């Protein structure tokens, strides 16, 4: 089949009109089991934990959008991550970005360390010397998140992937913040992409879902398929349908998220009540050049420091309305949150401080509302700081 451009694939990849009825949208195949013509002879599906046509459409669409070979859909981003970790032997060593999603850290530190004796070293993956020095005989995986959460640090995917290849180590990139519209980890040599599809991929804040895409390692893909079936953390047909629907507008939505975020970042940077703005699209962002090289645009997430401390931050966060005070990100609506108290509370305080997750640090997920309304609201809320 012809390889169409991304926006076309977001609408069509993995999806054919329904053979039985001609339905143009992939139906929600709400069926746990499938009738067989003869024992063991069926149309490719036997039981929905192993495979379901609605899920298959989503998995194939995501594989296409990431330019990988195989996609797998899970009940959450963390279930997807867990399936990747389950491919490792007990006692394996992982090197991970020190600034990462709190739930990923918790999965490593509070679950896999105990259940699979996984050893994890956290460091700044951009420090090549430290990265190389931390590789050990049992290092099997380098876990990258870029841009990171909440500091939006960019990890140089090409450098990390090249070093990993040299040592025969698998690389995983959590591509949640960028989405395949803004960043293609496989182009830089990464082996596996994971997503919290809860965020930009679904994009409408009404589903929890996760995705794994494998670039070209068939053996690894088979392992993940087996783990998906054997441990059962699958995405339901209904949620698969919703994510598939969300994907159709992903390229359009990302464009609008980036456009609004750019304007808000510039507004905040010029505001006297704001101490500092962290946004990869700003000239003042230390890794702006790397972000330009690695990403097509700079995304919808902005982190900034208010002038003041926890009290000023609290007052400000109580004041916004369109920017709803809530965890999560990547939906059509704008959200605002306080990482130190909310999303990153599971990261130990010393580590938070080292990373710069301060008490006056605020993170916004810029939505698709009219930019004038968003700017007006921020202006008003900043008056209480």
Helix/strand/coil percentages in the chain, nearest 5: 40, 15, 45
Distance CA 207, CA 237 (A): 12
Contact between 166 and 196 under an 8 Å Cβ cutoff? The reply is no
Which residue in 60, 62, 59, 54 sits closest to 28, CA to CA?
A: 54
Provide, rounded to whole angstroms, the least separation between the CB of residue 19 and ligand PLP: 32
| Burial zone of 120 (CB within 10 Å; 0-12 exposed, 13-18 middle, 19+ buried) | middle
3-state secondary structure of 104: helix
- Min dist CB 145 to ligand PLP, Å, is 6
Q: Whole-number minimum distance, CB 208 to ligand PLP, in Å?
A: 5
Separation in Å, CA 288 to CA 109, 226, 239, 282, 310: 31, 40, 36, 7, 29
**Closest-CA residue to 373 (of 334, 338, 336, 330):** 334
Q: Which is nearer to ligand PLP, 174 or 297 (CB)?
A: 174
159 as an active site residue: the answer is: no
- The first and second tokens of residue 163, run together, are 């070093």
Q: What are the backbone dihedrals phi and psi of residue 288, each rounded to the nearest 5 degrees, phi first? A: -55, -40
Strands ordered across the beta sheet of 139-145: 70-74, 210-214, 192-196, 170-174, 139-145, 93-97, 119-123
Shortest Cβ distance from residue 150 to ligand PLP (Å)? 10
Nearer to ligand PLP among residue 164 and residue 243 (C-beta): 243
Whether 243 and 201 have beta carbons less than 8 Å apart is answered as: yes
Which CB sits closer to ligand PLP, 45 or 68? 68
| Length, in residues, of the chain | 385
Report the residue number whose CB is nearest to ligand PLP: 77
Catalytic residue among 9, 55, 199, 215: 199
Catalytic residue among 99, 174, 191, 297: 174
Active site residue 315: no
Phi, psi of 172 (to 5 degrees): -120, 135
Residue placing its CB nearer to ligand PLP in the complex, 210 or 381: 210
Alpha-carbon dihedral 199, 203, 205, 206, rounded to 10 degrees = -110
Q: Which residues bind ligand PLP (CB under 6 A)?
A: 76-78, 101, 103-104, 145, 149, 174, 176-177, 196, 198-199, 208, 210
Instruction: State the nearest-atom distance from the C-beta of 166 to ligand PLP, in Å.
Output: 27
In the residue annotation, 106 being an active-site residue is answered as no
Nearer to ligand PLP, 95 or 209 (CB): 209
- In the residue annotation, 156 being an active-site residue is answered as no
Nearer to ligand PLP, 113 or 321 (CB): 113
Active site residue: 101, 122, 200, 279, which one? 101
Q: Which is nearer to ligand PLP, 343 or 381 (CB)?
A: 343
At closest approach, how far in Å is the CB of 196 from ligand PLP?
A: 3
C-alpha span between 385 and 380 (Å, rounded): 10
Q: 99 or 191: whose CB is closer to ligand PLP?
A: 99
| 37 CB-contact burial (10 Å; exposed 0-12 / middle 13-18 / buried 19+) | exposed
Residues 268, 304 contacting (CB under 8 angstroms) = yes
Instruction: Provide DSSP, 35-47.
Output: --SBTTB-SS-SB
Report, in Å, the least distance between residue 365 CB and ligand PLP.
10
Structure tokens at 72: 């797998």
Give me the least distance between CB of 155 and ligand PLP, in Å please: 13
**Positions marked active-site:** 49, 101, 174, 199
């Amino acid at each position: 089949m012809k390889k169409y451009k991304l926006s076309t694939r977001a609408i069509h990849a993995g999806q054919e009109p329904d053979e039985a009825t001609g339905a143009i949208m992939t139906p929600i195949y709400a069926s746990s089991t499938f009738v067989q013509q003869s024992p063991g002879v069926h149309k490719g599906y036997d039981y929905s934990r192993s495979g379901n046509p609605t899920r298959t459409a989503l998995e194939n669409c995501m594989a296409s959008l990431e330019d990988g070979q195989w996609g797998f859909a899970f009940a959450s981003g963390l279930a997807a991550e867990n399936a990747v970790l389950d491919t490792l032997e007990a006692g394996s060593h992982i090197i991970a970005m020190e600034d990462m999603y709190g739930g990923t850290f918790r999965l490593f530190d509070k679950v896999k360390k105990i259940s699979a004796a996984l050893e994890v070293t956290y460091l700044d993956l951009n420090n090549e010397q430290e990265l190389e020095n931390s590789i050990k005989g049992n290092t099997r995986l380098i876990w990258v998140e870029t841009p990171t959460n909440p500091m939006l640090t960019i990890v140089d995917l090409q450098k990390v992937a090249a070093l990993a290849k040299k040592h025969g180590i698998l690389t995983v990139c959590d591509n949640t913040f960028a989405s395949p519209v803004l960043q293609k980890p496989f182009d830089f040599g990464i082996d596996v992409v994971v997503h919290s599809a809860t965020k930009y991929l679904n994009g409408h804040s009404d589903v929890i879902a996760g995705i794994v895409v494998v670039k070209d390692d068939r053996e690894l893909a088979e392992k993940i398929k087996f783990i998906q079936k054997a441990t059962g953390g699958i995405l339901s047909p209904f949620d698969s349908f919703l994510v598939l629907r969300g994907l159709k507008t992903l390229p359009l939505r990302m464009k609008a998220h980036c456009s609004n975020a750019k304007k808000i970042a510039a507004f905040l940077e010029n505001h006297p009540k704001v101490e500092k703005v962290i946004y990869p699209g700003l000239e003042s962002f230390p890794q702006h050049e790397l972000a330009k090289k690695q990403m097509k645009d700079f995304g919808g997430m902005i982190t900034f420091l208010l002038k003041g401390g926890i009290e000023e931050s609290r007052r400000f966060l109580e004041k916004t309305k369109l920017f709803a005070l809530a965890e999560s990100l990547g939906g059509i609506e704008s959200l605002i949150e306080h990482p130190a108290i909310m999303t990153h509370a599971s990261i130990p305080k010393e580590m938070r401080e080292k990373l710069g997750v301060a008490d006056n640090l605020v993170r916004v997920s810029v939505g698709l509302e009219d930019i004038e309304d968003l700017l007006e609201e921020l202006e008003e809320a900043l008056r209480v700081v």
